[in-house]
Structure 1
Amino acid sequence: MSKASNFTTNQLRDYSTLFSRNQVKSWFKNDFTSIYQKIYRYDEEWLTMNNSTYVEYLRYVYKVLESHYQNEYIFKNSFLNECLIKEISSTNSQIFSEFRVGNAVADLAMFNGTSKVFEIKTEMDSAKRLDFQLQNYQRAFNEIYLVLPESKLYQYQHIGKEIGIIVYQPNFIEKFKVIHKAIPNQTVDKNTIMKVLHTHEYKNLVKSHFGKLPKMTSFNQFEKCRELILQIPNDELNSYFISFMKARQKSIALNKKHYREFNQISLALKLSKTERKALMEHLKLPIKPNHVLSTS
């Protein structure tokens, strides 16, 4: 196998593309072209290893990236495994990857008795858009956390005290450390919440609170419902918002013990237990030495 001293930035960047959504979707179809491209390019010894499987190779690549190239996937997956998965499995929580709020997209959002958003900044990210992102998140979430490498902490000293900060310490047993907790904010912006909600959600919210829907058409239903939602007390609207977000998506298959490298894939693709099991069955197939790469 490749030695640490031989890993170039281009190789690590190339490895990291294996954990993209499009590549994972192809594995469901037994299309492992993306994996073979990396094997032929860097790791031909895997073709001569008896009974080696795709999942074994992917776990090897993941470990390389974890040690040498902590891109967004590795960082998010580590944070999910180390900090969030226990809470998700032990409470009635719902978690989202890439949750849109206004004109920003949050890396991770979690809803249980409160709403939390986690913005992740890796070694490769800049703070350029952070103020804009935080402004959007503050309109909809009760708690906001910034998650970043410890080495980058100095770049974010200007962040307001209401924003929680969690740092990543790769050389410690507990890799993530809370520098300070977020100061809870119970005041959400009603117009922002209205825009986050899907049509059936804001209609159901109005019906739940007022007992019925107003007279409306498909052309004016947004404005009619918005007028009523603006009348709901803030704390009640916050509770409605959390409950509707918890009901928005099906339960995602995350595993605390087995194949933890693929938890962020499950979250990003919203895989059920059946779908995750099917993916792993595909990946447990043996690597075939005589596989011919497509020319695409």
Structure 2
Amino acid sequence: MKLNQEPTIDINQLRDYSSLFSTKNVAKWLDGDFSLIKTKISRYNETWLDENKSCFDYLRHVYKVLEENYQNEYIFKNTFLNTELSKPPLKEDTKNPDVKWFNEFKVGNSIADLAMFNGKSIAFEIKTEMDSCKRLEAQIKSYTKIFNQVYLIIPESKLSTYDRYDVGIITFNPNQKKFKRRKQSPTYTINPDAIMNILHTSEYRSIVRQHYYSLPKNINSFNQFELCSKLIKDIPIKKLNKYFIHHIKQRNVVSNDVLMFKNFKEFKQLGNALKMTKTQYQTMVTQLKLPIEYNL
């Protein structure tokens, strides 16, 4: 049997394979710890230890197996970043150095899988074949309080399940590796209370100062949230939306350089999730390309 072939794989092995691409384990690679890769090779693919192959080769092999047999959230998100960021309108947004992408963005009790802030804000929620939609209404309700657009990224086979939701929908055909999009027009009905619960103290103070030219004279650390909240509620919604996006974009998030890499498609989402610099990303790949015996 060739190295790039696998016998029939059971679901437990696929789940075990998928752990290789968890942020917790990949963070160890940055410290030169590749022990988990060795564990998987010893457990499932011992012949790789006898070949002149690298950890990079092995991870690509595992990724391909997952891509063909186990479309989990990482595969979905990574495929989306690899294919859709190179197409309009996201291509123009991603090339713009002023655009900020977040891997996971907390809104109340919900966490959007991806979020983009440019002239508008967009939330992307991923639902795989393995996910249910029981929490989706609550998630959408949370996202629409602060985002101008909300998109679901779903398998094409699940369109009938999610078609009833009043959001944009991006469907993925795993066989063709293509996404199709049902656009959603931007809305600007953001909720000031929801905004306040997301902004850091320095951010909401800055918005008040920017709009009113000064902070209240009686403001202190005990009353600042209440005072600023009242003032922010009086800011016209479209203007508040601009202030909010501007301040979120100032946060330290992933560089677009990593997202625009055309090579090493298997690891793009990892660079995004771990906020790797271009240098960190390239160093990690260089280390992974060393022979397996060197790293293990």
Q: Give the TM-score normalised by structure 1.
A: 0.92
Query: What letter corresponds to residue 164 of structure 1 in structure 2?
Result: G
CA contact (8 A) 1:2 1:43 kept: no
CA contact (8 A) 2:146 2:194 kept: yes
Match of 1:245 among 242, 248, 268: 248
**Structure 2 match to 1:164:** 168
2:118 corresponds to 1:115: no
**Structure 2 match to 1:287:** 292
Change beyond 3 A, Cα 1:2–1:274: closer
SS at match of 1:117: strand
Change beyond 3 A, Cα 1:96–1:157: same
**CA deviation string 1:95-123 (max 9, x = no partner):** 11110011110011111111111111001
**Structure 2 match to 1:217:** 220
CA contact (8 A) 1:19 1:73 kept: yes
Unaligned runs of 5+ in 2: none
Select between 103-112 and 81-90 the one with higher mean Cα deviation.
81-90
Superposition misfits of 4+ residues, deviation over 4 angstroms: none
% identity of equivalent residues: 50
CA contact (8 A) 2:30 2:280 kept: no
Query: What letter corresponds to residue 174 of structure 2 in structure 1?
Result: P
SS at match of 1:288: helix
Select between 245-254 and 10-19 the one with higher mean Cα deviation.
245-254
**In 1: Cα distance, 2:260 partner to 2:54 partner:** 20
Match of 1:99 among 97, 105, 110: 105
**In 2: Cα distance, 1:89 partner to 1:155 partner:** 30
**Structure 1 match to 2:45:** 43
Query: What letter corresponds to residue 194 of structure 1 in structure 2?
Result: M
Query: What letter corresponds to residue 60 of structure 1 in structure 2?
Result: H
Query: How far apart are 1:3 and its partner, in Å?
Result: 3.5
**CA deviation string 1:225-278 (max 9, x = no partner):** 111111110000001111112221244222431112111111111111122122
Query: What letter corresponds to residue 172 of structure 2 in structure 1?
Result: Y
**In 1: Cα distance, 2:214 partner to 2:290 partner:** 54
CA contact (8 A) 1:142 1:185 kept: yes
**Structure 1 match to 2:194:** 192
Query: What letter corresponds to residue 199 of structure 1 in structure 2?
Result: T
Match of 1:125 among 113, 118, 131: 131
**In 2: Cα distance, 1:277 partner to 1:236 partner:** 40
Q: What is the alpha-carbon root mean square deviation over aligned residues?
A: 1.7
**Structure 2 match to 1:22:** 24
